[in-house]
């Protein structure tokens, strides 16, 4: 069985920072790679903030936080990932950008390194094919917010070797997650079901069914979901949701995956949700306020 000791995460945004945090907290020496110093600083600061919050809430001891932070090494040089046993990719949802990164990682990393993608909607096979190690290539799909959500979808392609799959599956369990196994179909299990629901909520808004607030309220109080679909879309990221919809629509050619026009307009305007301060809600004040989006 492949031993995973050192871990690296490429991309330290919303998802990558969470993956770095849980890996370091679980005792792994973890390298966080970002595209430039500014993004790296932002990512490391959000990891620190998340751990500080856990300390404030009494969920983490301050020395454990300090030890976890000390296990994290930030870098903007891919060469620093050469000795990693597992690399989890969490960069933008763009096939060409991901393929380029994986082919560079394939050249840099040692022979036994397992490469994994946290993609929401791309197929693992397409990325694995950009490397010379499709047998050591898996999907490790985490959920947002990573420190809280228990699930990881562990995805195998027809080329994934049993040893790499098992090692990735066991690693997911070792960082405190509940793994499930999924085949390499765009969206895997959760997004295959969740994404059409979120897109349908946007279409309902476009059709004037009800207000943003009332649709959210209805789904929280009527079905027990922790967040309504618009709060959730802002939380996932409007840009990311749009990319996911485009990719899934291209894959399945089913209208339920088609990105609604309003979603496209919001991306054009840079309204990416919580991370940019505005999406379906405005986050500039103390409480989120629904945006006026008459369509």
Site of interaction with ligand NAD (CB under 6 A): 11-16, 34-35, 39, 90-93, 97, 118-120, 142-144, 236-237, 240
Q: Report CA 182 to chain centroid distance, whole Å.
A: 16
One character per residue 5-44, x = contact with ligand CAA (rule: CB under 6 A): ----------------------------------------
Binder among 137, 143, 230, 249 for ligand CAA (CB under 6 A): 143
The interface partner of residue 149, options being ligand NAD, ligand CAA, none and the CB cut-off 5 to 8 Å by kind, is: ligand CAA
* 141 part of the active site: yes
Active-site choice (17, 46, 118, 120): 120
Residue whose pair of structure tokens reads 């490397």 in the numeric block: 131
Sign of the CA dihedral running 50, 53, 59, 62: positive
Answer for the pair 88, 140: CB distance below 8 angstroms, yes or no. yes
Closest approach of Cβ 147 to ligand CAA, in Å? 4
Strand-pair category, 137-142 with 151-156: antiparallel
Instruction: Find out whether the peptide bond into 102 is cis, omega within 30 degrees of 0.
Output: no
Q: Closer CB to ligand CAA, residue 42 or residue 104?
A: 42
Using CB under 6 A, pick the residue from 226, 284, 285, 287 that binds ligand CAA: 226
Active site residue 153: yes
- Does position 107 interact with ligand CAA (CB under 6 A)? The reply is no
Closer to ligand CAA by Cβ: residue 106 or 273: 273
By the rule CB under 6 A, 149 interacts with ligand CAA? yes
Residue with nearest beta carbon to ligand NAD:
13
Residue of 34, 191, 233, 246 marked catalytic = 191
Least spacing, CB of residue 38 vs ligand CAA, in Å: 21
Catalytically annotated residues? 120, 141, 153, 191
Binding site for ligand CAA (CB under 6 A): 50, 53, 57, 59, 120, 143-145, 147-149, 190-191, 194, 226-227, 232, 236
């Amino acid at each position: 069985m492949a031993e995973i000791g050192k871990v690296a995460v490429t991309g330290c945004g919303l998802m990558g920072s969470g993956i770095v945090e849980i890996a370091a907290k679980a005792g792994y020496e973890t390298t966080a790679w970002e595209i430039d110093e500014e993004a790296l600083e932002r990512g490391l600061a959000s990891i620190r903030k998340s751990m500080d919050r856990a300390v404030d809430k009494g969920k983490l001891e301050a020395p454990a936080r300090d030890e976890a932070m000390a296990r994290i090494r930030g870098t903007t040089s891919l060469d620093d990932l050469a000795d990693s046993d597992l690399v989890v990719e969490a960069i933008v949802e763009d096939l060409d950008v991901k393929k380029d990164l994986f082919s560079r990682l394939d050249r840099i990393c040692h022979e036994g390194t397992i490469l994994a993608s946290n993609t929401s909607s791309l197929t693992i096979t397409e990325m694995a094919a950009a490397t010379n190690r499709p047998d050591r290539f898996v999907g490790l799909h985490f959920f947002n917010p990573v420190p809280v959500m228990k699930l990881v979808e562990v995805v195998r392609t027809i080329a994934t070797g049993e040893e790499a799959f098992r090692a990735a599956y066991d690693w997911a369990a070792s960082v405190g997650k509940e793994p499930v196994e999924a085949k390499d179909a765009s969206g895997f299990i959760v997004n295959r079901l969740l994404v059409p629901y979120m897109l349908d909520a946007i279409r309902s808004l476009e059709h004037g069914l009800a207000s943003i607030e009332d649709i959210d309220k209805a789904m929280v109080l009527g079905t027990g979901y922790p967040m309504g679909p618009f709060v959730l879309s802002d939380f996932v990221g409007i840009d990311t949701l749009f990319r996911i919809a485009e990719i899934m629509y291209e894959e399945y050619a089913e209208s339920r995956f088609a990105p609604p026009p309003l979603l496209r307009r919001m991306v054009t305007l840079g309204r990416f949700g919580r991370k940019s301060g505005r999406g379906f809600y405005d986050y500039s004040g103390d409480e989120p306020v629904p945006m006026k989006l008459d369509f």
